[in-house]
Amino acid sequence: MDDIRPTIPRNSSKFTHQVRQDLRDKGYSYQTEKTYLHWIKRFIHFHKMQHPQSMGITHINEFLSYLGSQRDCSPGTQRIALNSLVYLYRKFLGVELEKLDFEMAKNKRRLPVVLSHEEVQRVLGGLSAEYFLMVSILYGSGLRQNELLNLRIKDLDFELNTLTVRSGKGDKDRTTLLPLSLHESLHEQIAKVARLHQRDIEDGFGEVYLPNALARKYPSAARETGWQFLFPSRSIGACPRSGVLRRHHLHHTSLRKHVTRARIEAGIIKHVTSHTFRHSFATRLLQKGYDLRTIQKLLGHSDIRTTEIYTHVLGRGAMGVISPVDD
């Protein structure tokens, strides 16, 4: 249950606990909370455990320049570290920063690893039924790994053939495709989860994790079948926030191990992760002639330039143009 916010000790004087509480009070997502704390801790360790209040603009510039020049970080990583420190000083400590002057990281284009349709089928062929269904959704709907694992039964609409992603990247909701070919397998998976949930209720459990606001608004929803995770964990564990024994969703390491094993058995030498199937989803749609704006919406990209990277994977220009000499 490492995607559930842990409890913060009440009235703690520990600096990181105070920062964590402030992030929650200001409504930041849990992923942002973890990311900001990670970079704040690295900043403090880099300056040999000095307290941020005793440091300033020079220390920030030194740390960010170190990331860009000596650690060879990408511009995106350096920007995340910058955002973390800007939050720390401006919003938490209330210190207005002067103009920053640090060495920028060099921009390096990295093309994503993509599998062909035939390669995806070979990987799928080496997976058991449940993992076959999970990877089929990754490839057929373009989901991120965490979006897949956090799916609830109620997020599937078989009438409209849509799948709703709740609180995706950037804490945004979106809808995407629900492949017709997976309907039968999904109905079987839902029936399996319903049976497991009924057994949990009979054993005195059956309550699933809900974010605090939802738990307060719908106190009985946690025991409803529709709120259960589509791919539940094999075992029941204690919630790190409340200590309540619950069945959470399957852990990402389980999916990763099965994908790696299937990739090896398929004889594919490319580096394949769960995210590879999302990349493959986008390139497959481009190959079939769908426009970038449609693909951008399905993927949940806020900037069309992020989606345009897939045109380069296909060996085309930014406008999807094929050279006349290649006709």
**What residues does 249 pair with on adjacent strands?**
232
CA distances to 41, 46, 56, 229 from 51, rounded to whole Å, are 10, 11, 10, 42
One-character DSSP codes across 95-146: --------PPPPP---PPP---HHHHHHHHTTS-HHHHHHHHHHHHH---HH
217 band by pLDDT with thresholds 50, 70 and 90: confident
Q: Is residue 327 part of a domain?
A: no
State the pLDDT at residue 310. Answer: 86
For residue 54, the domain's CATH number is 1.10.150.130
- pLDDT, tens digit (0-9, with 9 covering 90-100), for 7-45: 888 888 899 999 999 998 888 888 899 999 999 999 999
- 22 SS3 class: helix
For all residues of the chain together, what is the average pLDDT?
89
**What is the C-alpha separation between 81 and 36, in angstroms, rounded?**
7
**What is the C-alpha separation between 273 and 268, in angstroms, rounded?**
12
Q: 133 pLDDT exceeds 80?
A: yes
Please indicate, yes or no, whether residues 129 and 241 belong to a single structural domain of this protein. yes
pLDDT mean over 249-254: 94
**What is the C-alpha separation between 279 and 146, in angstroms, rounded?**
15
pLDDT mean over 75-98: 92
pLDDT mean over 160-181: 89
Q: Is residue 105 part of a domain?
A: no
Please indicate, yes or no, whether residues 149 and 68 belong to a single structural domain of this protein. no
Q: 318 pLDDT exceeds 90?
A: no
The residues assigned a catalytic role are 144, 169, 275, 278, 301, 310
Cite the beta strand spans of the chain per DSSP E.
156-157, 162-165, 174-177, 237-238, 245-246
100, amino acid identity: L
Please indicate, yes or no, whether residues 299 and 208 belong to a single structural domain of this protein. yes
pTM of the complete model beyond 0.85:
no
237 band by pLDDT with thresholds 50, 70 and 90: confident
Total domains in the fold of the chain: 2
**What is the C-alpha separation between 218 and 216, in angstroms, rounded?**
6
State the pLDDT at residue 171. Answer: 73
Please indicate, yes or no, whether residues 162 and 284 belong to a single structural domain of this protein. yes
Q: Is residue 103 part of a domain?
A: no
Please indicate, yes or no, whether residues 45 and 169 belong to a single structural domain of this protein. no
Please indicate, yes or no, whether residues 142 and 260 belong to a single structural domain of this protein. yes
213 band by pLDDT with thresholds 50, 70 and 90: confident
Please indicate, yes or no, whether residues 218 and 139 belong to a single structural domain of this protein. yes
pLDDT mean over 259-269: 96
Q: Is residue 98 part of a domain?
A: no
State the pLDDT at residue 244. Answer: 83
State the pLDDT at residue 116. Answer: 92
Tally of CA atoms within 13 A in the half-sphere of 33 that contains its CB: 21
**At which of 43, 58, 92 does a domain end?**
92
Run of H or E including 261: helix 252-265
**What is the C-alpha separation between 126 and 105, in angstroms, rounded?**
41
Q: Give the residue numbers spanning the domain of 234.
A: 110-319
Please indicate, yes or no, whether residues 182 and 289 belong to a single structural domain of this protein. yes
